[in-house]
Homo-oligomer: A and B are copies of this chain.
Amino acid sequence: MVNIIHRIAVKAPLARVYAALSTVEGVASWWTRETSGESKPGGAVHVLFRSPDGSERGRMEFDVLELNPNRKVHWRFKSGPEEWIGTDVTFELSEDGDSTSILFAHKNWREAVEFMAHCSMKWATFLLSLKELGETGKGKPAPDDLKIDNWN
């Protein structure tokens, strides 16, 4: 099993960053506008990605395994790209002065395929979107996300 890990800090209070990760409205503000479902332990959230021209790029669904207020969010993917099924995404938060530090992981990929390298880069741009959301009030969720290569 192989993992993607990133670390980023947002100059915003812990509670604001946690809300962006733990609610449907929050996730819709930095990852993809088309986020729906129930973000609570035992619930499932559906995310749909479109291109700026409106065409569908992909969709995934994850179970919310843990919502530990101001500390941790844990998702497990149950549908989407074949490589994502069964993988885990975690966000671990900590306060650091006037910033909130995020330790991100997308764990348990079966192999370090080129698509994982694409997703690592793409997660980095979405974490920058989350940082912008926390610091300016406006993120860049899909379909306004930064395109990094011919895959998206």
Q: Which residues on A are within 8 Å of B, measured CB to CB?
A: 2-9, 96-97, 99, 101, 103-105, 112, 114, 116-118, 120-121, 124-125, 127-128, 131, 146, 148-151
Contacts and interface: CB of A to CB of B under 8 A. Distances in A.
B96 A150 contact: yes
Contacts of A121: 6-8, 124, 127
Contacts of A146: 128
Q: Which 5 A-B pairs have the closest CB atoms?
A: A124-B124, A9-B149, A7-B117, A5-B117, A6-B121
Given A9-B149, A124-B125, 17 more contacts: A2-B2, A2-B3, A4-B120, A5-B116, A5-B117, A6-B117, A6-B121, A6-B124, A7-B118, A7-B151, A8-B148, A9-B150, A96-B150, A101-B150, A120-B120, A124-B124, A125-B128
Among A116, A128, A131, max chain B CB count under 10 A is at A128
* Copies of this subunit: 2
